[in-house]
Chain A
Amino acid sequence: MLPDFPNLKRKLQKLLIYRMKRIHSASMPSFYAVPKRVFEGNRLIVVWEDGSSEELKIKEDKAKIDLNLQEVETITPDIILDKIDAAAKEIAMQQSKRFFEQIDKAVNKVGNVIDVKGRSLCIDDYFQLLEKIWIDFDENGEPILPTSVPNEKTLKSISKVLSQLKTDPECKKRYAEIIERKKEEWRVRESNRKLVG
């Protein structure tokens, strides 16, 4: 074989992988949490609280990095980094897509879908949405509201709705009523966490 520098190259590889992870993480939705690592095995089964179970398919996410061996002599670090970043974003995109597909499937299953039929989201839609979901509360009794993942068009209407919530006394009142009701539901849920008999 030709002379090589495997140890030094391993260090460089480590740096590239570290960068790849950072870019990947930044490209994921904002509420994306660090996933749990699975150290052994090839299957994952979840048994829900009601005793029903489902097998979650473990899927591989991959991205290809093309590098022409003739280019190696002249390629610049910037081009390498661009390729690494593109691969990281590609993996993040695949994961995000699957993630939203799963959410979509789950909300459709329980009927937590509000179809605004192409029009802009309005305050009533928002209240309807809050009514449909479970809201938890933190140790100080403050609601832990869901994270919004809007597209550009929805972002504008959501911003409008949120500012309306702050300024319109009527909306404020309705919001407070919903939150109070949700708090009661949450209390009931929490009081169900009990050992009986």
Chain B
Amino acid sequence: MLERVIENWLDKANERSFQKPFCYMLSAERYTVVHLSRHCGMEMGKDVIAIAANGTPCAYQLKTAKNGKISLRQWRDEISNQVFDLVVGQIVHPSIDNLRHHRSYIVTNGELDEEVSRAIDDMNRGWATKGQPYFKLETIVRGQLLSKARTLGTDLWHVELVNVKTFLELFLESGQGILPKKKLSSLFEATFPFELNERGKLPSKEHCARVIASAAVLCSISISNFSNANNHVAEIEAWILYISYMLALVERWKLPFKFWKNEFEIATKSIYNSLGNLCDELKEQTHFVEGDPLVDQPFYRVRLTWLIALMSIYALWRHNEKEPESEADDFIRNFCLENKTKLYLWGEAAIPQFIAFFWYFRKIDATRAPDFFLESLISAICQLNKPGGKRFLANPYYEAIDILPHILGIADEPLEDSFRGNSYVLEGLVHLFVRRNWKQSMKFLWPDITRLSSTVFEPEKIWHFYRWSNKKGIHKVTYPKHTQEWEELKALAFESDGTCIPQSIKNCPILVLLFLCVYPHRINSQILRWLDTKLKSKV
């Protein structure tokens, strides 16, 4: 049955949505993927660049087959010129040895018309007769892709019936809405081998590596409707979840980097590309309304808050990657600054989004404004969740989709939870503000801060950090000191070991920030302090 799903997925895929699984298929065949294009214009005809196990560079151009086949007309109108560049044009990439000629492939999710096969054959023979046999176009078509997916997929997906249901539910999602993260994580829980096998033995490193590649294909197929709908935000969330579960496995079995390097880099690059695509989409927009405008108003600012956060992260990441200053940076700066007054604090789960903007804001504005932004955030939380207050700010376990029905008064059932007198995020924000040394402002805020206890969740094992939900672990509720020494508070605020953060992600602070946006319930003061230090030193 899963094989049928794979066929169905491939038939409706476009070159953007089968690019990532194709990369994972290559990776499973011991290719090293060094480049994925953003499909934002041709990059010399090369959508994917990889290095084979024997060191041969390979360039791939991905093409969607219209009506299941690439016709001669499509070949002549769209493809033939591009494949010429693909074959003849040199690969310019720091990881590629220019002295070796590359192999060139056209990859399609359909078949080739007979005339197209003939045209390719003619082209190859033409080069050979001219004494250039190293110029050759090879093909990877539907049947080969299916075979690769099957080899990688169905024999490794340890999905039981209940998870097949989850998989199909995800696969059949329209792709227009919010990614059901809980569902996707339950699929990963069933796929990754976190426990000893039936014989009580550790899964081998090779097996883990194959599951990592296989789970990536599973992820791609599950979220294919989101990819086909160009739902970049859902794609970003899905790949962060994938990376998280991959790293959980890495931490669980202490997998050396070489067993997950390729998959990690493909996923990271995909997220970076999706952020770029989102930025391009925003640049084209004249408004930020989505779906039925008649009922969009309550969701508009929730969306804008999310977009400002993602664009802030993209800008920080671009800077980190030392991308040359471009139009994209100007756009992000204007977009964030023009819309910052529309940020909406709908719950503590939105705090990572606010914080992402705060770190970016600090980078582009050297005045006191970013610090005052932080101060207003602290004040808002104190007011909203103070004991006896009338309004509330839901804890970070409530995402927008969970809490908005209650805020809008359209929930089917009453909210059976209380947020009074407590916060999961306040302590971390206080520490960030203390780091800015606003002592007098802090003195003014302190009485209200003492009225709220701080809660933090400590998972039992370090690798549990990456799991969506954990059965074991401690909820620690701490009441702040009423009379607090400034120096003592400063000492706490400047600690930045980030001991709760697993080592496997510590090299990528930007990913930690994205992780918090996707897993807001993992936020705590330790992570915020660590990120503050890292982002300051890196950016």
Contact: A197 with B485, CB < 8 Å? Answer: yes
B327 contacts A by Cβ under 8 Å: no
B482:A42 contact, CB within 8 angstroms = no
One of B28-36, B440-448, B503-511 contacting the partner: B440-448
Question: B471 contacts the other chain (Cβ, under 8 Å)?
Answer: yes
A 184-196 to B, binary, CB cutoff 8 A, 1 in contact else 0? 0000011011111
Using Cβ atoms and an 8 Å threshold, which residues of chain A touch B485? 195-197
List A residues 1-40 near B (Cβ within 8 Å): 18, 21, 33-40
Q: Verify B388–A40 contact, CB threshold 8 A.
A: no
Asked if B473 and A192 sit within 8 Å, CB to CB, the answer is no
Q: A18–B412 Cα gap in the complex (Å)?
A: 11
* Interface size class, chain A: 20 to 34
- In the bound complex, do residue B482 and residue A47 qualify as a contact, i.e. CB atoms below 8 Å apart? no
Q: What 0/1 pattern do residues 116 to 139 of A give for CB contact below 8 A with B?
A: 000000000000000000000010
Cα distance A27–B148 when bound, in Å? 62
Q: B292 at interface (Cβ–Cβ under 8 A)? A: no
Q: Digitize B380-395: 1 where CB-to-A-CB distance is under 8 Å, 0 elsewhere.
A: 0000000010000000
B481 within 8 A of A: yes
Chain A residues, CB < 8 A from B443? 194-195
C-alpha spacing A42/B472, complex, angstroms: 5
Q: Does B372 sit within 8 A of A, measured CB to CB?
A: no
- A49 beta carbon closer than 8 Å to chain B: yes
- Please report which residues of chain A, range 32-81, place their CB below 8 angstroms from some CB of chain B when the two chains form the complex: 33-49, 51
Q: Which chain A positions have C-beta within 8 A of B478?
A: 46-47
Asked if B437 CB lies within 8 Å of chain A CBs, one says no
**Least Cβ–Cβ distance between B459 and chain A, in angstroms:** 8
Q: Taking A41-B470, A45-B474, A47-B477 as contacts, is the C-beta distance between A196 and B413 under 8 angstroms?
A: no
Cross-chain contact A193 with B457 (CB below 8 angstroms): no
The contact of A196 among B476, B486, B521, by CB within 8 Å, is B486
A38 to B476, CA, bound (A): 11
Interface stretch (choices B38-46, B154-162, B270-278, B414-422): B414-422
B477 A46 Cβ-Cβ under 8 A: yes
A38→B475 CA distance, assembly (Å): 8
Q: At the interface, yes or no: B469 with Cβ under 8 Å from chain A?
A: yes
Contact between chains at A41 and B418 (CB < 8 Å): no
When the two chains form their complex, are residues A41 and B480 in contact, meaning their CB atoms are under 8 A apart? Answer: no
Q: Which residues of A contact B484 (CB under 8 A)?
A: 194-196
B53 at the interface (CB under 8 A from A): no
The distance in angstroms between the C-alpha atoms of A18 and B470, with both chains bound, is: 27
A34-B416, A41-B457, A43-B475 given; A197·B480 CB < 8 A: no
Is B418 in contact with A194, judged by CB distance below 8 angstroms?
Answer: no
Taking the closest CB of chain B, its distance from the CB of A42, in whole angstroms, is 5
In the complex, whether B489 has a CB less than 8 A from a CB of chain A is yes
5 of the cross-chain contacts (CB-CB < 8 Å) are A33-B420, A41-B473, A49-B479, A193-B447, A194-B483
